[in-house]
């Protein structure tokens, strides 16, 4: 299960707070939510403080988002290591 909540300043920046596990069908849901925000050229940040686990597909998605100038913040050491091991 992954909970995604949005905060931010209209027409400026958006932070998506993720809570839970970035796995399975939730990876595609995260992409689906991020895509229009990236397309609007808004600054997008993902707050990963409450993410407990990221599967391989989730790691690929997060690295892909990061390469598109999405800022990943508050990663746990475990999630940071997962991203680092995959070249992120």
Work out the average pLDDT over 47-69.
Answer: 95
> Which residues face 71 on adjacent strands?
45
Instruction: Give percent of the chain with pLDDT exceeding 70.
Output: 95
50: pLDDT strictly greater than 90: yes
87: pLDDT strictly greater than 60: no
pLDDT of residue 10: 67
The span from the CA of 62 to the CA of 83, in Å, is 8
How far is residue 27 from each of residues 33, 49, 62, 68, 80, measured CA to CA in Å? 10, 17, 9, 16, 17
Mean of pLDDT over the chain:
91
Chain segment 32-42, per-residue pLDDT in tens: 999 998 888 77
* Alpha helices by DSSP H, 1-88: 25-39, 56-67, 77-85
Work out the average pLDDT over 21-29.
Answer: 96
Structural domains in the chain, CATH included, are 2-85 (3.30.750.24)
45: pLDDT strictly greater than 90: yes
Instruction: Give percent of the chain with pLDDT exceeding 90.
Output: 69
The span from the CA of 4 to the CA of 20, in Å, is 9
């Amino acid at each position: 299960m992954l909970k995604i909540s949005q905060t931010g300043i209209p027409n400026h920046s958006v932070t998506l707070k993720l809570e839970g596990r970035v796995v399975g069908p939730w990876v595609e849901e995260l992409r689906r939510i991020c895509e229009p925000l990236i397309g609007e050229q808004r600054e997008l940040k993902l707050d990963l403080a409450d993410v407990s686990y990221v599967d391989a597909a989730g790691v690929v998605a997060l690295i892909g988002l990061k390469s598109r100038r999405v800022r990943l913040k508050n990663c746990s050491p475990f999630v940071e290591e997962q991203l680092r091991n995959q070249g992120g």
